[in-house]
Amino acid sequence: MPLNFDREEKKPIVSVIIPTFNSSRTLRQCLESIKNQDYGYVELVVVDRYSSDSTREIANSHNATLLLKGPERSAQKNYGAKYAKGDFIYFVDSDFILENNAISKCVSTCTDFDGVTTINYSFGRGIWGKSIELKEWFLAHDPLIQNVRFIRKGAFLDVGGFDEDLVVGEDLDLYARLNERGYRIGSSDAVEWHVGEPESLREIVNRSFYYGKVVRAYFGKRGAYARKQLSPFKPDLYWSIVKTGNPYLVSLVIVDLTRLFSSILGLFYSLFD
C-alpha cells in the first residue's frame, strides 16, 4: 500500500507487518480490512515464508511490499520491522480482520504510550470453532495474556524485537521485555477478529501437537509463569463460562482435553527428536 506523503498535518506512518505461509485462505480478507481503515497513512508489508499457494500473488495484488524470509514468524516479523518505514509498527497475523477504526484507535492511544494492547476476538465455524471462539472471548480480557501488537518502532528495535528462538509465546515474551525495560504500555479498544480457528478435531490435534513440539523454549525462558499463562485449564475462566449457561461448554471441554493431550504428545516428541 503506497504511503501518503501529501499530508496537510503531520501524522505518524504505521507499518502493518503481516507474516505469511500458505495463507491464501484468509489473506485477502485481512488485506481488505487494512485497505478499508479510516486512517490513511499506512505502509503494508507482507513477509512470506516461501509459500507454495497464491499468497504472494494476493499480496502483490494489494500493492504490499513483499519480502521473503524464514524459518518462522518471529524472524519474519523482525525482518519486516527492519525494512519498515513507519513511526509505528502493527503486527497483524494473516488470519486477522481489523475493524475499520483499529489503526486510528491505536495511534490515538499511543499519544501517551510506547505501545498498546488490542482486543483480539475469535470467529469460529462449526461446533469446535464456536467452542474455541467462546473461550477466546474470555481470554481476550485475561491479564496474564497480553500482546503488544502496536508499538513504536524505536521501542521495538531497542529491546531486540522478537526472540527468534521462540515459536510459541514470542509475543508474550515481547510484552514482558518491554515492561522490564520500563516502556509504557497502554490499552486500546481496537478490535481484531481471528478468523483462522481450526474447524475440526483433526486440525486441533495437528496444531496443538506442533505447538507442543516447540513450546519448550518458552517454558525454559519464562518458567512457571509461562506454564500458568499457557495452561488450557483456568478455573476462574471456566466458572465465568459456566455462569453464562453457554451451550458450547461441553464441546469446549472436549477441545481443551484434545489440546492438552496433543500438546503433551508434541512435547514428549520434542524431547526425543
Domain of 42: which CATH number? Answer: 3.90.550.10
pLDDT of residue 58: 97
Distance of CA 255 to the CA centre of its chain: 21
pLDDT digits (tens, 9 = 90+) for 119-158: 999 888 899 999 988 888 888 778 788 889 999 999 999 9
Q: Give the residue-averaged pLDDT of 73-89.
A: 96
Q: Which of 31, 44, 40 is nearest to 11 (CA)?
A: 40
Any domain includes 265? no
Q: Give the residue-averaged pLDDT of 8-37.
A: 93
Phi-psi region of 3 (alpha: psi -120 to 50; beta: other; left: phi over 0): beta
203 to 27, 199, 208, 229: CA distances (angstroms): 19, 7, 8, 22
Any domain includes 241? no
Any domain includes 3? no
Any domain includes 28? yes
pLDDT of residue 9: 59
Structural domain including 25 reads 14-196
pTM of the model: 0.90
Q: Give the residue-averaged pLDDT of 205-210.
A: 94
- pLDDT band at 224, cuts 50/70/90? confident
pLDDT digits (tens, 9 = 90+) for 249-273: 899 989 999 999 999 999 999 988 7
Any domain includes 48? yes
CB atoms within 10 A of CB 202: 11
Split into its structural domains, the chain has a count of 1
pLDDT of residue 227: 84
pLDDT higher than threshold 50 for residue 1: no
Any domain includes 214? no
- Torsion, CA 88, CA 89, CA 92, CA 98, rounded to 10: 10
Any domain includes 250? no
Any domain includes 205? no
- pLDDT band at 3, cuts 50/70/90? very low
Phi-psi region of 46 (alpha: psi -120 to 50; beta: other; left: phi over 0): beta
